[in-house]
Homo-oligomer: A and B are copies of this chain.
């Protein structure tokens, strides 16, 4: 499984890749709901039934695209984070923000597949989860690092977290070890804020209003950094 040995296995890996690549390209024209095995087969120049040698059904192809997509975001986020000094927590946060936005702008339909409306009739299997949290893991590490370094100083005490928030906070804390419920809440605000912005921008909610989104985005993510307690 790890590295293909026989010629057959090599060809198979190549064709599998070619199929997902073509399918990815088709997302742009027809969207996830309209992803069609026959169309992919046509572009590959093979019989539509041949695709079934590689993916047992349309939904499995979709799952592969979703996993690839999450991994692609995870990778750019990991790289953006790693390119910054470990102690530059604010810089790492901003780098992650821009990595997500840049990737989304470069792959709008894949972003829509991952973070937009669910595909009707499709239910993502459990294997997508590991890939889906790669970016979140990086984010959690940044916040956690900042906390451990004593670099988190929120502008003022936040509203008191309701006691019933504790259980959810505990689950989120697995990604951001050590921090208080208050920081968990702030971290949720920033993370949802990042994707909320990108979705608004990509899905047209800013049309005719925000014409220089790159500038506004960077500025707003700096606000998020401060709310979170990261130094300016």
Q: Which residues of A contact B (CB under 8 A)?
A: 29-34, 112-113, 115-121, 124, 129, 132, 155-156, 158-159, 161-162, 164-165, 167-168, 171-172, 185-186, 188-189, 192-197, 199-200, 203-205, 208-212, 215-216, 218-220, 222-224, 226-227, 232
Contacts and interface: CB of A to CB of B under 8 A. Distances in A.
A215 B165 contact: yes
26 contacts: A30-B120, A31-B120, A116-B116, A116-B117, A117-B117, A132-B205, A155-B156, A156-B226, A159-B219, A159-B232, A161-B219, A162-B215, A162-B219, A165-B216, A171-B210, A171-B211, A185-B216, A185-B219, A185-B223, A188-B197, A188-B210, A192-B193, A192-B196, A192-B197, A193-B196, A195-B196
A186 B188 CA distance: 17
A117 B107 CA distance: 13
Contacts of A129: 208
What is the predominant secondary structure among interface residues of chain A facing chain B?
helix
Copies of this polypeptide in the complex: 2
Contacts of A200: 192, 195
B223 A168 contact: no
A168 B210 contact: yes
A208 to B, nearest CB: 8
B189 A223 contact: yes
Contacts of A162: 215, 218-219
Contacts of A189: 193, 220, 223-224, 227
Contacts of A218: 162
A159 B31 CA distance: 39
B168 A204 contact: no
Interface-centre pick from A32, A189, A215, A232 (highest chain B CB count, 10 A): A189
A209 B168 contact: yes
Contact of A159 (B192, B196, B226): B226
Given A155-B155, A168-B209, A186-B223, 4 more contacts: A156-B156, A161-B219, A168-B210, A195-B200
